[in-house]
Amino acid sequence: MIGVSWLMIALPLLGAAILLLGGRRTDRWGHFLGVAMSLAAFVVAVVSFVEILGLPESERRRGIELYQFIPGIADMGLLIDPLSISFALLITGVGSLIHIYSVGYMSHDPDRRRFFAYLNLFVAAMLLLVLADNYVALFVGWEGVGLASYLLIGFWQFKPTAAAAAKKAFIVNRVGDFGLLIAIFTVWTTFGSVAFGDLSGATVSEAIGSGGASQGTITAIGLLLLLGACGKSAQLPLQSWLLDAMEGPTPVSALIHAATMVTAGVYLVVRSGAFFEAAPTAQLVVTIVGVATLLAGAIIGCAKDDIKKGLAGSTMSQIGYMMLGAGLGPVGYAFAIAHLITHGFFKANMFLGAGSVMHAMNDEVDMRRYGGLFSVMKVTAVTFIIGYLAIIGFPLLSGYFTKDGIIETAMEHNQILGWLAVVGAGITGFYMSRMIFMTFFGKKRWADDAHPHESPSVMTVPLVILSIGSIFLGAFLILDNRFMKFLAPAVGAPEELPAFHFVSTAGLATLALVAVGAAFAWFRYGAAEVPRVAPRGSFLTTFARRDLYGDALNETLFMRPGQWLARIAVFVDNRGIDGLVNGLAATIGGTSGRLRRVQTGYVRSYALSILFGAAVVVGALLYVGNM
């Protein structure tokens, strides 16, 4: 099956083509086709994964040549190895559950068939991104994901906020994409290849040693790759699009902004580990960006009353943890990808749970108008709480193993980064507990026309499956270094395999701060009455509500200078370039108009002109002769 793993991409791409080209004729069964194509891709991924497990470790990197893409530069091919197949399982597995959930969630939408076409298109593009065997093919998938996310975020085009959010996501990501493009050009210029198989750590080190590549060039490649990663993964300073993207349907938030697309940047950094390991400065910047983002996302999540935007801030923060791990070398790679996979389960679980709540509350997203929903939505509440316990790192759940592994690894590399990550965990305990108390407990604050009820089984069954993964997956991946050993053929193995410590200074400090955060949230939002209208709050509250003034900063530094530059360019064009051309034309036209009056058509006028001219000539000759 490894030889036909291209079917993972082809099947959902075929589904998208049928649904888009078939038009309204596919409305009645289009959603079933979309689900079937995603599930079929998942089956191919599972069979390929099983086949990889049956191979010796030295043979777990298989290249598949498809066709000649750009002659002399890059062919279209796939690389099936432990890293890519892990992502393929996540994309198709969690993606299929979200497809199934969407059957119920989008049941009353007249354009449901088109929605499933876009979902299939996204899955196909994301699979190309992670399965490609070179940077050029990866970039094709990278841009395909950007297109699909634009279509999905702006799916409800009748909402101006959704259309604006889609454009914002597309434009902000173009900044990161530009960095990735320049990185690819630099890699090709320096090494003569863009294939991952030709760009190993040994190759990069040899190029530096022989003078074929300078240390500055490798550092520049790493920083440019990081810029591309920041765009897709909503890391500082390109994070501003993520919270606005919640305007799309909730399954979009679960698929794109929790489980798959926003993790593409982490994949890019890990896949490009050879460059970062050879450029310590770039590697350090990765960790700094990760820590800064995990703190920023956590702070934003503390002040959001919109349940989806609160989860979006959490996503931004958790990907910061992954980015921190990705900057710590082979040990960090394993924990980062493991946390990425477990996060895909518990965050998709919570996003879909939020969609279930919205489905029951007439699409209300303000948590101040929830309260007491546990009594009427027990399945949604229990599964959401399991995801909550996993993300805060409750002992023995998935996040406890993966996030704590990142924190401990960071502690060993840099105490400052490690302790900042611990602080971020404490803030996570607060804002996630706040969300739980405001939504499922306390007094009922529903609107008079709200009649909350449990969602249908087509929506709750995916929640149950995702919650099971949120419980057990972390322990399965981390204990006995199972996942680290599996990834080794793709990303390298550390000199010494680490042991997971159930009791450690960092772990105890993390649990203590999480407990303090949860207790404070209970004091503010569980035991006390939650006002239905948000109080004004302090400067810090306003700071967090306005996304740390990220939009204001972008507007001040980029948008307004860009507007003035455009206005100046228009003025110069209109008054300068066009003014010169039009002025010259007007001068010639005016002069010719005046000269035209000389031609009167009367013979006596012409005779008088001749007489006057002859007199001038004679006078001039006489004057010259007398000199």
pLDDT at site 627:
66
Domain residue ranges in the chain: 279-535, 556-625
Stretch 311-325: mean pLDDT, rounded?
Answer: 95
Give the alpha-carbon dihedral of 131, 132, 137, 142, to 10 degrees. 30
What b/e sequence results for 390-406 when a residue is b if at least 16 CB atoms lie within 10 Å of its CB, and e otherwise? bbbbbeebbbbbbbbbb
Residue 141 has pLDDT above 80, yes or no: yes
Stretch 73-91: mean pLDDT, rounded?
Answer: 93
pLDDT at site 598:
72
Cα–Cα–Cα angle for 149, 542, 536, rounded to 5 degrees: 120
Q: Is 452 helix (H, G, I), strand (E, B) or coil?
A: coil
Residue 482 has pLDDT above 70, yes or no: yes
Please tell me what DSSP assigns to residue 362. T
Residue 149 has pLDDT above 70, yes or no: yes
Query: Which of the two residues, 447 and 169, has the higher pLDDT score?
Result: 169
pTM reported for the whole predicted model:
0.90
Give dist(CA 618, CA 627) in Å, integer.
Answer: 15
Q: Map tokens 């899955």 to a residue.
A: 123
Please write the tens of the pLDDT for every residue from 591-603.
887 777 777 777 7
Give dist(CA 483, CA 487) in Å, integer.
Answer: 6
Please write the tens of the pLDDT for every residue from 545-582.
888 888 888 888 878 888 888 889 888 888 888 888 88
Give dist(CA 375, CA 154) in Å, integer.
Answer: 34
Stretch 37-54: mean pLDDT, rounded?
Answer: 95
- pLDDT classification of 589: cutoffs 50, 70, 90: confident
Residue 82 has pLDDT above 90, yes or no: yes
Give dist(CA 358, CA 452) in Å, integer.
Answer: 9
Q: Which tokens go with 69? A: 């893409």
Bridge partners of residue 74, in order along the sequence: 70
Q: Which tokens go with 153? A: 């975020």
Torsion sign over Cα 384, 389, 390, 392: positive
pLDDT at site 560:
85
Give dist(CA 319, CA 289) in Å, integer.
Answer: 11
The whole-chain average pLDDT of the chain stands at 91
The β-bridge relationship of strands 62-70 and 74-80 is antiparallel
pLDDT at site 599:
76
Residue 174 has pLDDT above 70, yes or no: yes
Please tell me what DSSP assigns to residue 207. H
Stretch 253-276: mean pLDDT, rounded?
Answer: 89
Give dist(CA 233, CA 248) in Å, integer.
Answer: 17
Bridge partners of residue 79, in order along the sequence: 63
Picking from 372, 354, 507, the residue whose alpha carbon sits closest to that of residue 442 is 372
Residue 161 is which amino acid?
T
Stretch 270-293: mean pLDDT, rounded?
Answer: 95
Stretch 582-590: mean pLDDT, rounded?
Answer: 85
Stretch 162-189: mean pLDDT, rounded?
Answer: 94
Tell me the CA distances in angstroms from 323 to 235, 283, 284, 292, one per residue in order.
9, 10, 11, 10
Q: Map tokens 């863009």 to a residue.
A: 194
pLDDT at site 515:
96
- Taking a C-beta distance cutoff of 8 angstroms, is the pair 352, 251 a contact? yes
pLDDT at site 541:
86
Q: Which tokens go with 10? A: 């082809």
Please write the tens of the pLDDT for every residue from 92-115.
999 999 999 999 999 989 999 999
Give dist(CA 236, CA 218) in Å, integer.
Answer: 22
Percentage of the chain exceeding pLDDT 90? 69
